[in-house]
Amino acid sequence: MELRLHLVHFGVFLVYVCGLCYDVKPPKGSEYESAFWAMGGRFKYLTFIDALLQCGFFGLCVLNDIVGSDTAILSQQSVLQKLRDWLFTSLVFPMGVFVSFIFWVLYAVDRELIFPASLDKWFPSWLNHIMHTLPAVGAFLELYMVCHNYQKGWNLYVPIIVAYFLYLSWICFIAYAANFWVYPVFEVLDFTGRTLFLAALLLPNLIIVFMGQKLHDNVWGIGTEQTQRKGKME
């Protein structure tokens, strides 16, 4: 189990590195060139920001596998393990699942709102799956294979709420300063529609955080002895 877990961590990390290093760029003179390189570059896309987060997290997992710890006993946990657990439970799982869920739901409704068909000419499908499918797959694999320490109460929800409003402020600033919306779906909505849509997106994030904790408890148990939890990890 331990070797398999280490291989999963390293494999997912390596796939993310390959995806992030791939030199994707729209053809010169295309309708996407100016928007792609406009304010913020790739850092204006939640998909890219999430891929950086996921890559950094699985890189941290690899480092923790080598020099850190993997114990349910808080007093014996390394700083790396505590950081791994905090990142996964508060940001990595909810953001990864959210990105995959929202993308593929909008894609199924009308792909032109989120990923126009014309992108297929220069954005390969394998890279699309790294950016939009792997986040959820990797998050669920991690939840199933590793026992994590969850924050208590609202402390668990604060990081994703802060991250949500920071990104919301970022894309609204881009719309104001550069006069374009990062995602085509906002172009077809009026002010009221955008406001309601953006506000409504916070709820799935909170639900995913809650769901992640419940799924984790179902897999690893609630109120079990620390030795039992440690035994399951091994």
Amino acid at 169: S
Measuring CA to CA, how many Å separate 175 from each of 88, 168, 231? 31, 11, 52
Whole-number Å distance between alpha carbons of 176 and 171: 9
- Residue 104 CB: number of other CB atoms within 10 A? 16
Query: What's residue 197's pLDDT?
Result: 86
pLDDT string in tens for the chain (234-residue length): 688 999 999 999 999 999 999 988 888 877 777 778 888 888 999 999 999 999 999 999 999 999 999 988 888 999 999 999 999 999 999 999 999 999 999 899 998 888 889 899 899 999 999 999 999 999 999 999 999 999 999 999 999 999 999 999 999 999 899 888 888 788 888 888 888 988 888 999 999 999 999 999 999 986 434 434 444 444
Whole-number Å distance between alpha carbons of 61 and 64: 5
Query: What's residue 37's pLDDT?
Result: 80
Distance of CA 196 to the CA centre of its chain: 23
Whole-number Å distance between alpha carbons of 46 and 120: 19
Whole-number Å distance between alpha carbons of 87 and 70: 15
Query: What's residue 101's pLDDT?
Result: 95
26 membership: H or E segment, kind and range: none
Whole-structure pTM value: 0.90
Whole-number Å distance between alpha carbons of 158 and 148: 18
Is 43 in a helix, a strand, or coil?
Answer: helix
